[in-house]
Structure 1
Amino acid sequence: MLTILHTESSTGWGGQENRTFQESIGLKKLGARVIILCQPDSMLGKRASAEGFEVRTCRMRKSYDILAIKFILKLIRNEKIDVISTHSGRDSLLAGIAGRFSKRKPIIVRTRHLALPITSKFTYSFLPHRVVTVSEYVRNYLIKEGIHSEKIVAIPTGIDTSKFSPEKTTENLRQELGLEPDIPLIGTIAILRRKKGHHILLDAIPLILQKIPEAVFVFAGDGPQKENILNKIHTSGLSDKVFMLGLRRDIPEILKSIDLFVLPTLQEALGTSFIEAMAMEKPVIGTDVGGVGEVVRDGINGYLVEPNNPSALADAVIKILENRERAMAMGMEGRKIVEQNYTVEKMCEKMYALYSSLLKDKTS
């Protein structure tokens, strides 16, 4: 049995932690033994424990934490770890060093989840045997930074298409908000950070309302920009047009309820929220940044617009809302793209195949 150790020094919960969690579930289904190493107060640890995973906790106080390295070395030896899969900067360094010093010589794979500049080439070029990126965009960025191309493989994030399924989901948001069935409803689901571009959509909404005055917008999510967004909604006179839903657990139901998904992000490694909306057969509008263009195919399953351009964003929204048949066709295309490229099963099969091939090369 293949024994995989996932390491994560981040304590929060976002796309990165969710991918690690979904990977763990999928790899376990494929017959691997999965152990998750995280900080004692980690959200991933809590979710993984609830799911029945073997979870180990260790303080990872700094990048060169000798006690943490010793803990991981012992874990590798006692649990006979074959593969170490690292995810954040700190655990990639600690687990990478431990893996390299271990007599078991486990395979080390680092996943790069973000579209941000890297801070340490060492944890990409020397410590891991392979680097996995969530998009071709991030892969190409690492190559430009001097990481050898043959060392990097893009394996895009997949989603659970049985959870994000139009047939298995009921619509509830319109009733909750007291909206008529034919009111155009535009949704944005993202953490409330400035780089997600909520402020750009708020600048576009008055332009959209000039053409489609009955349109209503919902923002699902929480984050540091909450007060700024609320203030902008109020000062723009949009309080009866933009509803803040807060942090929600019923994302498939929200996506089922909307007509169109919009996220004018300014920075994105891939854009899992687009994939989730596409799986729910919704047309999507994104900005031509990072890996977004790999999932949003302009004119096929939605539109790609220039970043930080409220006017272009408004035009794209109006274009979709004014042609319901085209919108439905785009939604159907989106679901097809997800089924072909972005399922959690495909992601896990590719990760398992990568681990297996690296272990085979090691022993041959």
Structure 2
Amino acid sequence: MADRSLTVLQLLPALEAGGVERGTLELAAGLVKAGHRSMVVSGGGQLVSRLTGQGSEHIEWPIGNKSLWTLRWVWRLRDLVRQNNVDILHARSRLPAWLAYLAWRGLPAGKRPRFVTTVHGLYSTGRYSRIMTRGEAVIAVSEAAQRYVLENYPGTDIKRVHLIERGIDPQVYPFGYRPPESWLSRWYQEHPFLLERQVLTLPGRITRLKGHLDFLQLLARLIRSDLPVYGLIVGGEDPRHVGYMREVRQSVQQLGLDSAVTFTGHRMDLRDIYAVSNLVYSLSSRPESFGRTVCEALSMGVPVIGYDHGGVGDTLAKAYPQGRVAPGSLEALENTTRRLLEDPVEVDHCQFTTVQDMIDQTLSLYRQLLDS
């Protein structure tokens, strides 16, 4: 079994920006590189071309639409699995996991692939979310995700829950990284005012979860006390949250921040933006299972301030406890920011799980399932 090429089918709602999507692409690329067949079913999105460019196959089905009509894909998924001799059926989100589970259960026991789920988020608890614990193997992307499963679904066999942390690429986010002079020249031509300001950066998609309103309140407090700060909000607008984006822009006007914050939109040079930032923030209103941007920035030696819950709290506790803030406390957020701007605390060289570690551990789990 160890030498046989595998066929792995991953399922997720869509291939837009986000942690689930990043993890899917990283594993898909690792599978192809290792000589396996990588297939992905999703509703499509901006990352499809990157996925297929790396050698994976993509099947575009709207399996993320929350409608009874979506159940019709169960039969087509069962045929897809059977016709392609899929070895591993790997679901990464709740609705696709239900479809995968129903398709999998409908196959003869001796003809089924091994069924794997990955718990990417700290979902609302209940029967709908319980499906993420029904895999023959359940991957938790962080210690926070593992705690979530074991605390909220105590009937889950602990032997089926496997901690495989999300990884970052230390070659992409090296400690002490400095952008090339050509990038710096362009950046400061576009943003000359940043040369005289301390730069506070909030990365992440423009969704209510990410704490943009708290970040704007922080900027307003600091600017009122004449601190020379400037805010960067780095992330694309989510077309499903147009109303929230309107609310964020109204808050900018109401707080008088028009000349103190820039919305950069989605950027491919986030590493360089981290490098020119004094502080990077993670202010999710609800605990998240894994704070990728926190690990990326800390890997480079850039200080991070974040709300002390979920995976972000776990990471900061280990790598940069000076940046932990009580969730939702604007006063604590302001005080911690002031302290680190006035008396910076350097980040120690952090060793995080790498993308290759994550790929290797996942492939090893696949092999164990197929050998058992």
Are 1:109 and 2:116 matched, yes or no? yes
Q: For 2:301, give the aligned amino acid.
A: E
Say whether the 8 Å CA contact 1:212–1:318 is kept in structure 2.
no
SS of 1:311 mapped into structure 2: helix
For 1:27 and 1:63, the matched residues in 2 are separated by: 33
Q: 1:124 to 1:244 in 2, by over 3 A?
A: closer
Q: Give the distance between the partners of 1:300 and 1:10, measured in 2 at CA.
A: 33
Q: Secondary structure at the match of 1:352?
A: helix
Residue 163 of structure 1 aligns to a residue whose secondary structure is coil
Give me the whole-angstrom Cα distance separating, in 2, the residues matched to 1:190 and 1:291: 15
SS in structure 2 opposite 1:297? helix
CA contact under 8 A between 2:12 and 2:93: conserved in structure 1?
yes
Check if 1:323 corresponds to 2:343: yes
Matched, 1:6 2:25: no
- Give the TM-score normalised by the residue count of structure 2: 0.85
Deviation at 1:353, TM superposition (A): 1.3
Q: Which residue of 2 aligns with 1:142?
A: 149
Q: Is the alpha carbon distance of 1:211 and 1:220 closer, same or farther for their aligned partners in structure 2, counting shifts above 3 Å? A: same
- 2:58 matched to which residue of 1? 55
Distance across 1 between alignment mates of 2:227 and 2:173: 30
Query: Equivalent residue for 1:343?
Result: 354
Shift of 1:273: 1.5
Correspondent of 1:163 among 149, 165, 172: 172
Q: Secondary structure at the match of 1:179?
A: helix
Cα separation, 1, equivalents of 2:178 and 2:358: 22
1:212 CA displacement: 5.8
Summarize the Cα distance change of 1:35–1:299 in structure 2 as closer, same or farther, 3 Å threshold.
closer
Alignment match of 1:235 (pick from 229, 241, 254) = 254
Q: Are residues 57 and 243 of structure 1, via their aligned partners in 2, closer, same or farther at CA, if it must alter by over 3 Å?
A: closer
Give the one of 192, 195, 208 matched to 2:209: 195
Structure 2: distance between partners of 1:175 and 1:302: 33
The aligned length equals: 350
Q: Which of 272, 295, 299 is 2:292 aligned to?
A: 272
Match runs of 1:57-96 below 5 Å: 57-60=60-63, 62=67, 65=70, 67-96=72-101
Which secondary structure does the structure 2 equivalent of 1:296 belong to?
Answer: helix
- Please say which of residues 45-54 and 267-276 is displaced more in the overlay: 45-54
CA gap of 1:123–1:259, structure 2 versus 1, over 3 A, is: same
Cα deviation for residue 132 of structure 1 reads 1.1
Check conservation: 2:41, 2:58, Cα contact below 8 A: yes
Between the aligned partners of 1:168 and 1:34, the Cα distance in structure 2 is: 35
Counterpart CA distance in 2 for 1:63 and 1:109 is: 24
Name 1:304's counterpart in structure 2.
Answer: 324
Deviation at 1:301, TM superposition (A): 6.1
Q: Which residue of structure 2 aligns with residue 295 of structure 1?
A: 315
Report SS of the residue matched to 1:245: strand
Superposed CA deviations along residues 215-273 of structure 1, whole A, max 9, x for unmatched, are 11111122432222222122112222222222222211211221110122212221112
Letter in 2 for 1:342: T
Aligned to 1:23: 27
Letter paired with 1:73: R
What fraction of aligned residue pairs are identical, expressed as a percent? Answer: 23
What's the offset of the Cα at 1:58?
A: 3.2
Please tell me the residue identity of whatever aligns with 1:277. Answer: A
Between the aligned partners of 1:249 and 1:272, the Cα distance in structure 2 is 15
Q: In the alignment, residue 141 of structure 1 is paired with which amino acid?
A: Y
The code of the aligned residue for 2:220 comes to P
Tell me how far apart the structure 1 counterparts of residues 73 and 162 of structure 2 sit (CA, whole Å): 28
**How many Å separate the matches in 2 of 1:111 and 1:194?**
24
Q: State the Cα distance separating 1:56 from its structure 2 match.
A: 2.4
Could you list the per-position Cα deviations for residues 284-322 of structure 1 after superposition, in whole angstroms to 9, with x for gaps in the alignment?
A: 000012211121127836411011111101111111111
Deviation at 1:205, TM superposition (A): 2.1
User: Are 1:124 and 2:132 an aligned pair?
Assistant: yes
What is the TM-score of this pair, normalised by structure 1? 0.87
Provide the C-alpha distance between the structure 1 equivalents of 2:49 and 2:339, rounded to a whole number of angstroms. Answer: 44
1:32 to 32, 36, 46: 36
Ranges in structure 1 where 5+ consecutive residues have no aligned partner: none
Corresponding position: 1:257 with 2:276: yes
Letter in structure 2 aligned against 1:3:
T
Structure 2 vs 1, CA of residues 280 and 125 (structure 1 numbering), >3 Å: closer, same or farther? closer
Structure 1 stretches (4+) deviating beyond 4 angstroms?
61-67
RMSD: 2.4
Residue 212 and residue 319 in structure 1: after superposition, are their counterparts in 2 closer, same or farther (change >3 A)?
farther
State the Cα deviation string for residues 57-96 of structure 1 (Å, max 9, x = none): 3343656856422222222222221111111222211222
Question: 1:42 offset after TM fit, Å?
Answer: 3.8
SS at match of 1:291: helix
Q: Secondary structure at the match of 2:317?
A: coil
Unaligned runs of 5+ in 2: none
Looking at structure 2, the residues matched to 228 and 266 of structure 1 have their Cα atoms a distance apart, in angstroms, of 16
Task: Classify 1:281/1:176 alpha carbon distance in 2 versus 1 (closer, same or farther; 3 Å).
Answer: farther
